[in-house]
Structure 1
Amino acid sequence: MKKFVVRFALFFTIIAAGSVFLAACQTARSVYDSTREAFGMQKRDIMIGEVKDARHSLEEVKGQFQSAMDTFNNVLHSQEGKLEEKYKTLKSENEKTEKKTGNIQKSIDSVLRVSESMFAEWEAELNQYYSENLRSGSEQRMQEAKSQNNRLISAMTLANEKAGPVLAAFSDLVLFSRHNLNSETAESLTIELDAAADKVASFSQEIDAAMSEADALLLLLAGSEPASKPE
């Protein structure tokens, strides 16, 4: 009974510590945003910076997945090198890919945080207009930006979800490489590599779609009309 109580208390201590950590991170981000505003950066400029950063992160993640796929193909198809060396190479590449993938969720969180602040300010300013014509124009632009921002978030979220199956495939290949690389397993290995390559291609398409949505939002925020999208 005492052990149960101790474990129960430890569990809630960990949960509480995690909550405090997340709250501290959110506070730090808010302070950072406030500091940028204090130095004269407008919320729109901060938002543009966040979207550019998100796009750059997406491009880096895509490059890492393609690089990892190349590494897996080269190592697993090679007849040279020791088994342990191959395993360590693939394990390292997989860990790099997993770490880089985490940047997608970070980008989603950052864009959501800053966009919420920007749109709140934008909406509040609508009540300050004397001209109905100008107010209406600003509101229309805000709604367009909101819609495009939602499309970007949805596209990044979908890309993040598509990363899961690729990481699972890479993890399986790493595990397999530790003890099972021989001529008898070559055929099944080729099948798995081809399947992983298909998953990477699908993931890359979602990343490209998310980057296109980021470009469209940047055009809107910069005051330019994005190209019309096909229905």
Structure 2
Amino acid sequence: MNRLMRCAVVVMLTLGVCGCRTVYYSMWEKLGKHKRDLLRDNIEDAQKEQQEAGEKFQDAFTRMKELADFDGGNLEKLYGRLSGDFERCNSAAESVRSRVTDVRTVADDLFREWESEIEEISSGELRRKSRSKLDTTRVRFEGLHRAMTAASGRMDPVLTQFRDQVLFLKHNLNAQAVGSLKGELRGIEHDVSELLREMDKSIIEARRFIRSME
């Protein structure tokens, strides 16, 4: 997302609280971007952010395995890296959740506008075609949104396990705590794998939806 787009998102969030998103959309229309374009941009950004989040979660789990295999050296340094990985995962998760909300908001506004404009079409045949296209697009979007929400929801149990381990290690930075971590790895690995699988599904759905808009 370029700098202008980032600034516009901040404006959108501010205006959204006031129920004045019309100003935001009007600003973009003057720049040649309509709700359809904004929805596509947000979905593309969601793809990237989910991919980046998945990589951060995978990195954190890899670090956790390194810590579980600790066999001498600077334990505190390894813990510091894991703690940093957790913070990055938490930040990435917040970005993904926020983006999913943005996608839903723009989609709902687009569909409302589409519904309204259909009523302005005088030709019955063209009105039916536009209605059919809207219905198809809406169904496809709901499939995408379910996939995005499922992937987003999978982050929470992983973050909870990461947080538990980071805090436990913080309070017990010794070989016994490391041994306890080793016993938890299988369950954490399962949850991370499920998260990455859901994110892959969401990314695939996003690509399909974007292709359908072209």
* TM-score normalised by the chain length of structure 2: 0.84
Question: 5+ residue gaps in structure 2?
Answer: 1-11
* Partner residue in 2 for 1:37: 29
- Post-superposition CA distance 1:39-75 (Å, at most 9, x none): 1212211111111111111111111111111111123
- Partners of 2:76 and 2:180 lie apart in 1 by 20
CA gap of 1:152–1:100, structure 2 versus 1, over 3 A, is: same
Question: 5+ residue gaps in structure 1?
Answer: 1-21, 223-231
Q: 1:110 aligns to what SS in structure 2?
A: helix
RMSD: 2.2
Q: Which amino acid aligns with 1:90?
A: L
- Partners of 1:90 and 1:116 lie apart in 2 by 39
Q: Which amino acid aligns with 1:24?
A: T
1:26 aligns with 2:13: no
The more displaced of 172-181 and 68-77 is: 172-181
Residue 23 of structure 1, CA deviation: 7.3
Counterparts of 1:129-140 in structure 2 under 5 Å? 129-140=121-132
Aligned with 1:142 (options 130, 134, 147): 134
Larger Rg: 1
- Partners of 1:103 and 1:152 lie apart in 2 by 18
* Partner residue in 2 for 1:181: 174
Task: Check conservation: 1:72, 1:90, Cα contact below 8 A.
Answer: yes
Q: How many residues align?
A: 200
Residue 197 of structure 1, CA deviation: 0.9
The more displaced of 44-53 and 67-76 is: 67-76
* Partner residue in 1 for 2:3: none
* TM-score normalised by the chain length of structure 1: 0.78
Q: Identity, % of aligned pairs?
A: 26
1:79 aligns with 2:79: no
Residue 95 of structure 1, CA deviation: 0.6
